[in-house]
Amino acid sequence: MDELIEKHMGLVISIVNRFSPKNQTEKDDYIQAGRIGLWKALTKFSKTGGSKFSPYAWNPIKWEIIKEIRSAKSKCDSINPEDCEHYCGIRSSAHFWELIPSSLTPAERQVIQLRREGYNFKEISCELDCHRSRIKKIFQSAICKIRETNNE
């Protein structure tokens, strides 16, 4: 079975590249998910039908990768406000901002700072004259960037 998986890894990699992973870690995650899909396809494939394996394996591989993408997205969507302190850990302002990725937008930095000062989303939305759901999305985006930086 291992030889067959290695033989068809090119198919997995070609499918992974269609999803345009952002970085090597994401690409590795997609490849692992694709390997699972490939393994599932190998265990269910029957040569008696006369069909080729690659077209048969395409969907199981693709769906495992999609499942991985959805799983990663739901991980970013399920963020608690306390995650800011959890992922950054340090309350001292001098050290806090050193741990925050430079890729944060000014709005994300401002929302993070206000959350650290004890404001809730409703108070921040009033302060910034922005809808509460928009503030939550900005905060979630910032936390996702922090998680990516810390490889979590």
pLDDT at 134 over 70: yes
Is residue 46 located within the same domain as residue 100? no
Q: What is the mean pLDDT of the chain?
A: 80
Q: How confident is the model at residue 5 (pLDDT cuts 50, 70, 90)?
A: confident
Model pLDDT, residue 63: 93
Q: Cβ–Cβ contacts within 10 Å for residue 146, how many?
A: 23
Indicate whether 118 and 93 sit together in one domain.
Answer: yes
The length of the chain, given as a count of residues? 152
Task: Give residue for tokens 């910034």.
Answer: 128
Query: Mind listing the pLDDT tens digit for each residue in 66-120?
Result: 998 888 776 655 555 555 555 555 454 555 556 666 778 888 888 888 888 888 8
pTM of the shown model: 0.52
Amino acid making up residue 109: R
Number of domains within the chain: 2
Asked if residue 41 lies in contact with residue 57, where contact means CB atoms within 8 angstroms, the answer is yes
- Report d(CA 88, CA 99) in Å as an integer: 6
pLDDT: is 117 or 40 the higher one? 40
Under DSSP, the state recorded for 102 is T
Do 67 and 88 have their domain in common?
no
Cα separation, 12 vs 15, in Å, equals: 5
Q: Are 95 and 71 contained in the same domain?
A: no
Residue 93: give the domain boundaries: 83-149
Task: Count the alpha carbons within 13 Å of 109 in the hemisphere toward its beta carbon.
Answer: 12
Residue 26 has pLDDT above 80, yes or no: yes
